Amino acid sequence: MAKINFGGVEEEVVTRDEFPLEKAREVLKDEVVAVVGYGVQGPAQAMNMRDNGIKVIVGQRKGTKNWDKAIADGWVPGETLFEVEEAAEKGTVIQYLLSDAGQRSQWPRIVEHLNEGDMLYFSHGFSVTFKDDTGVVPPPHVDVALVAPKGSGRSVRANFLEGSGINASFAVHQDATGKAKDRTIALGIAIGAGYLFPTTFEREVLSDLTGERGILMGALAGVMEAQYNELRKHGHSPSEAFNETVEELTQSLIRLVGENGMDWMYANCSTTAQRGALDWKDKFRDATAPVFKDLYESVASGNEARITLEANSQPDYRARLEVELASIRDSEMWRAGAAVRSLRPENWKK
């Protein structure tokens, strides 16, 4: 593992230079990787591994939309596409990529097919960390590991096709074979990770749930709504309010942050923007710090996990989710966003 300095703190990470794809292929040459679940992460990880020459099969319930999607992606029923339990039996690495609620409900069926020396692989520490709520307790005769890409499945696939990768964390929770670490890192390289950094199942889930509810999704959406609504109250048009709140961020500024950091983005904006941002940054930090404190405590206590499992296990979950998402989609702010996106040059009618 390479030692890298992160903000004055030295960490060990795994890069493709020290663990190239050829080494990953050698480690995985006798493995059959069964990707169980073809929803969010499953398609990207399965196709990336297939493209990288790893023997992959998919487990998905027949008759579902995701079964049909798997066929459309080139998986062949009876050859590389099977019912969940059959795939789990055939695999030597079982990538358990169902939703957290789905992992809880399917666990009694999956655990019966974990043979000695198999690896049980997760992309989220949820089920194992909150085992009292999920019932997911791996048997002692299998390796238990995690590779968690720091991005959506769509990004994992898109970045792979572009020749880059999404950074990922990895952890070995249980080493029954003595080879769990190499197997885990090889799988991370095979799914196309940019680099891999070590964590634990618990640290992964606490940071992940905090991030999703916080700056990555919940806080971002909430702060955007607050600014948009304030601008509209003062007579700014939907187009102006949306462009100043969302479009400039997503199409310009955040790209500059991604290239070279926040300071570099500041340095490439007007002096008026710089001064205002520097003056108001700490006010936003201090105002939201108590919210993040409450959020982390709710995640660490298991409260967020229990809320998630309860809500996502309801038979009408999908219908209720669509209503909630529609309320965002149909709001003035995001209807304005749809109009703004349609006017981007790449969408102009020729």
pLDDT in tens, the chain (350 residues): 778 888 888 888 999 999 999 999 999 999 999 999 999 899 999 999 999 999 999 999 999 999 999 999 999 999 999 999 999 999 999 999 999 989 999 999 999 999 999 999 999 999 999 999 999 999 999 999 999 999 889 999 999 999 888 899 999 999 999 999 999 999 999 999 989 999 999 999 999 999 999 999 999 999 999 999 999 999 999 999 999 999 999 999 999 999 999 999 999 999 999 999 999 999 999 999 999 999 999 999 999 999 999 998 899 998 999 999 999 999 999 999 999 999 988 777 64
Q: How far is CA 191 from CA 30, 89, 94, 188, 318, in A?
A: 17, 22, 14, 5, 29
DSSP sequence for 169-194: EEEEEE-SSS-HHHHHHHHHHHTT-S
Same-domain status, 72 and 30: yes
Residue 10: predicted pLDDT? 87
- 88 & 191 share domain: yes
Structure tokens at 324: 């909630």
Q: What is the reported pLDDT for 164? A: 86
- 206 located within any domain: no
The token duo for 126 is 């949820």
Specify the DSSP class assigned to residue 55. Answer: -
Catalytic residue among 113, 124, 234, 236: 124
Catalytic-residue membership of 173: no
279-288 burial code (b ≥16 CB/10 A, e <16): eeeeeeeeeb
Asked whether residue 82 is domain-assigned, the answer is yes
Rounded Cα gap, residues 287 and 320, in angstroms: 32
Q: In a 3-state reduction of DSSP, which class is residue 19? A: coil
- Output the six-digit token pair for 93: 């690495």
CATH code at position 47: 3.40.50.720
What's the length of the chain?
Answer: 350
**Cβ neighbours of residue 194 closer than 8 Å, sequence gap 6 or more:** 159, 164, 165, 166, 167, 168
Collapse the DSSP code of 238 into the 3-class scheme (helix H, G, I; strand E, B; otherwise coil) and give the result: helix
Which among 148, 174, 199 is the end of a domain? 199
Q: Do 143 and 254 belong together in one domain?
A: no
User: Can you tell me whether residue 160 is helix, strand or coil?
Assistant: helix
N-terminal to C-terminal alpha carbon distance within the chain: 51
Both tokens assigned to 236: 């700014």
Among 171, 199, 227, the domain-final residue is: 199
How far CA 252 is from CA of 228, 246, 262, 269, in Å, comes to 18, 10, 13, 11
DSSP β-bridge partners for residue 59: 36, 82
204 part of a folded domain: no
Q: Are 15 and 195 in contact (CB under 8 A)?
A: yes
Asked if 98 and 144 sit in the same domain, the reply is yes
* 81 lies in the same domain as 36: yes
**Residues 7 and 114 occupy one common structural domain:** yes
The predicted model scores a pTM of 0.88
Last residue of a domain, one of 178, 199, 220: 199
Dihedral sign for Cα atoms in the order 279, 281, 284, 288: negative
How many Å apart are CA 275 and CA 87, to the nearest integer?
58
Residue 216, domain CATH: 1.10.1040.10
C-alpha distances in Å from residue 84, one per residue of 102, 196, 318, 320, 339? 12, 28, 21, 26, 42
**Domain range enclosing 42:** 2-199
Tell me 77's DSSP state.
B
Q: Are residues 165 and 262 in the same domain?
A: no
Q: Are 20 and 153 found together in one domain? A: yes
Whether residue 158 sits in one domain with residue 286:
no
- The tokens describing 343, both together, are 């006017």
In a domain, 205, yes or no: no
If asked whether residues 271 and 153 sit together in one domain, one would say no
- Whether the CB-CB separation of 158 and 129 falls below 8 Å is answered with no
Q: What pLDDT score was predicted for residue 7?
A: 81
**What is the domain count for the chain?**
2
Do residue 171 and residue 47 come from a single domain? yes
Please check whether residue 136 is in contact with residue 104, taking contact to mean a CB–CB distance below 8 angstroms.
Answer: yes
Residue 207 lies in a domain: no
Residues 243, 191 share a domain: no
